[in-house]
Structure 1
Amino acid sequence: MIEVSAPGKLYIAGEYAVVEPGHPAILVAIDQFITVSLEKTENVGSITSFQYGNLPVLWRRQNDLLVLDKRENPFHYILAAINVTESYAKELGKELSFYSLMVDSELDSSNGRKYGLGSSAAVTVATVQALCQYYDLGANNETIFKLAALAHLSVKSNGSCGDVAASVYGGWLAFTTFDREWVLKQQEQNQSVKTLIEREWPHLSITPLTPPLDLRLVIGWTGSPASTSHLVDEVTNQRSRDKQAYEVFLKESALCVNRMIEAFQAGDIKAIQTQIRKNRELLVQMSKDTGVTIETPSLTQLCEVAETYNGAAKSSGAGGGDCGIVLFDRKEGLLSLMTAWEEKDITNLPLHVYTKAEK
């Protein structure tokens, strides 16, 4: 039995701009996980997930391709991860076999509502990691990231894959995405998976950050789930209304996040907080320019309450609901903030930054 866990993520800064190649964002991996267990079977395989009623979806093989017994299935990211990783395994001369794959997630609430912690990325990464172990592929972090990113591209994901990077590498990360058009062009030219992941991907950059010792991350959840892919699509569709405003947003976001990265390197909490507030302003302005709601009234309340207790706050990820993040100097008291949030129906998620050495 192989068992692999991958952590969820939260965006700290650089949302929306990060979908453009070379535009930086900062993310963290958090200590809630998706666990994939994998065990060899004969003649037929299965995929089981607690989140989908624990009924196994059975699969067989036709010409080494995985074929489901049910046409409708909720496992798009898992299947994409299997297809990409097994293509790579075959190119390395491995013989494909059958296995049962079980998924368990801590990234949703007990009633199945999503917190916005990157479950699609985490399940993709955990599946890729489990199969790399199963087929003994000796994959490093970069290989796992690229295999998981290719899986996301294959299901037409419009995200940056920053959440994939957080699930693979853990901790605090500075991230810029790759040129997806370049990757898709390589695939059109029938580039093998092995060749593609061995090549350097234009603009891709994943850099671990060390946070200042007294920096404290606090996470609030508004209780209102949001669809990242839907919001990113909306912004993409609307930004053509004012291309100049969008170009200004991209430029200002890059400036803000790069300054924040420098503040991390200098261990300067006040400077980090200044850029968090600046990034919030940029996202609010971009929201006005595109007409897409990013900071909902609940997220505005979350931020405003946190600011009264000396925290620097903003929406996290695509916004439209889900989580907000607050960065504090550890010396500041937090109990009053929790009470004030409770009165506004905002839930503090007791999560911590996850670094790989911890697990």
Structure 2
Amino acid sequence: MTKTYHVTTGGKLYLAGEYAVLTPGQTALIKYIPILMEATIQANPDYQLSSDLFDYSVDLYPDKQYALIQETVSIVNDYLVKLGHTLSPFRLRISGKFEKNGKKIGIGSSGSVIILTIKAMAEFYKIHLSADLLFRLASYVLLKRGDNGSMGDLACIAYEDFIAFTSFNRQKIRKLIAENELLTVLTADWGYQIRPIKVTLPCEFLVGWTGTPAISKDMIELVQASISSDFLEQTQIVVEQIEQGLKKADQELVSVGLKRAGQLLEKLHPAIYSKTLQELVGATKNFTAVAKSSGAGGGDCGVALTFDTKSSCCLIEKWQQAGIELLWQEVLA
């Protein structure tokens, strides 16, 4: 009987530092969201890739819809051959959609699909991948595709943790990819930092979904030209404040820092804060809570930290009244 292997992975949301982290050396705080996607993989006479996002399956012959999965398989196959493995075809099925009512939720679906595919293949070939190597392989896939993101989402999803991610020079690594073979790139010094955050501040982490999808790639292209050295400097200061506040249980430092981080984004570009995102943030007024947009903005999700149970309940109620759906709720400490 053919053995079937199962793997899962989740998504992510930015607490602070989005947009700034597109610049090498900047830091963002990113929270793992365990809303899971699943993959099953088993030996098969031929390659067969399927996803419940599409109503058909493919092999490795290039297909536009399946390009992300196919390119991931190709790169991992290259890695396996270089490690001395004999390749074997398989059937890979990915299930789970980061969407509601047919609308995409911006918690990292493309990054999750890449990492899910890599994890499934590692399980199939019985090889151990550290969280860091998983991150590098996934980043390699996106960098080779010309993706314009920071790769922070991949770091968070690979580590399955609340992290502080300091970004690397992606142009430098793209050049490395173009001029070197895979193993050389994977073992090079990329210049990033990934630090898991141990939260000691008693608080709840809430995610509100506006119901309006936003395309991160398009938002980045729209906003990137507005990023100034002052924005980067101010954002780095507040990100460090928030990280320290979470670690040292300093509620004031976290509240002031998150509020300031949101103001910096609002000032950066008017497209970031949609009307509903403004309502999401404004709903925290009169509660011991603070909220801001998360990720690319323009719709999609916002995040909040609440510091007592009553504030959590009242905020959720106000969000519901504004048509904002509670997507995730978690006690951080």
- The within-5 A match list for 1:191-270 is 191-202=180-191, 204-236=192-224, 238-239=225-226, 246-270=228-252
Question: Residue 320 of structure 1 corresponds to which residue in structure 2?
Answer: 298
8 Å contact kept, 1:171–1:353: no
The residue identity in structure 2 corresponding to 1:56 is S
How much has 1:308 moved relative to structure 2? Answer: 3.0
Alignment of 1:110-129 (within 5 A): 111-129=101-119
Find the residue that maps to 1:306 and give its secondary structure: coil
1:201 maps to amino acid: W
Alignment of 1:1-359 (within 5 A): 1-42=4-45, 44-53=46-55, 55-57=56-58, 59=59, 66-68=60-62, 71=63, 73-109=64-100, 111-189=101-179, 191-202=180-191, 204-236=192-224, 238-239=225-226, 246-288=228-270, 293-352=271-330
Residue 344 of structure 1, CA deviation: 1.1
Superposed CA deviations along residues 48-93 of structure 1, whole A, max 9, x for unmatched, are 111213x222x1xxxxxx424xx4x312321222122111111111
TM-score if structure 2 supplies the norm length?
0.94
The CA distance in 1 between the partners of 2:127 and 2:331, in whole Å, is: 29
One-letter amino acid matched to 1:94: H
Q: Is the 8 A contact 1:49 1:102 kept in 2?
A: yes
Deviations 1:145-197 (Å, cap 9, x if unpaired)? 000001111222111111111111112100012211121121222x2211211
Secondary structure of residue in 1 paired with 2:228: helix
Aligned length: 329
Question: Unaligned regions of 5+ residues in structure 2, if any?
Answer: none
Query: What SS does the corresponding residue of 1:123 show, helix, strand or coil?
Result: helix
User: Is the Cα–Cα contact under 8 Å of residues 266 and 272 in structure 2 kept in the other structure?
Assistant: yes
C-alpha contact (below 8 Å) 1:32/1:106 kept by paired residues:
no
Cα distance in 2 for partners of 1:248, 1:26 equals 19
Determine the C-alpha separation between the residues in 2 that align with 1:89 and 1:170. Answer: 24
Give the % identical residues: 28
- CA separation in 2, counterparts of 1:121 and 1:351? 22
> How far, CA to CA, are the matches of 1:331 and 1:113 in structure 2?
30
Once the two structures are overlaid, the 10-residue window that deviates more, 161-170 or 312-321, is: 161-170
SS at match of 1:285: helix
> Equivalent residue for 1:63?
none
The Cα shift of 1:214 comes to 1.2
CA distance in 2, matches of 1:39, 1:49: 15
The range that moved more, 44-53 or 10-19, is 44-53
Which deviations, in whole Å up to 9, do the C-alpha atoms of 1:280-331 show, x marking residues without a partner?
010011115xxxx001010000100123322111000000000110111134
The residue type paired with residue 67 of structure 1 is Y
How far the C-alpha of 1:336 sits from its partner, in A, is 2.2
| 1:242 counterpart residue number | none
Deviations 1:1-57 (A, max 9, x none): 121111110100001001111100001111201111111101x2111111213x222
SS class of match (1:124): helix
Inter-partner Cα distance in structure 2 for 1:308 and 1:201: 45
Distance 1:287 1:353 in 2: 32
The runs of at least 4 aligned residues of structure 1 exceeding 6 Å deviation read none
Amino acid at match of 2:222: E
Residues 29, 353 of structure 1: 8 Å contact kept: no
Q: Which runs of 5+ in 1 are unaligned?
A: 60-65, 240-244, 355-359
SS in 1 for 2:34: strand
Q: Which amino acid aligns with 2:305?
A: L
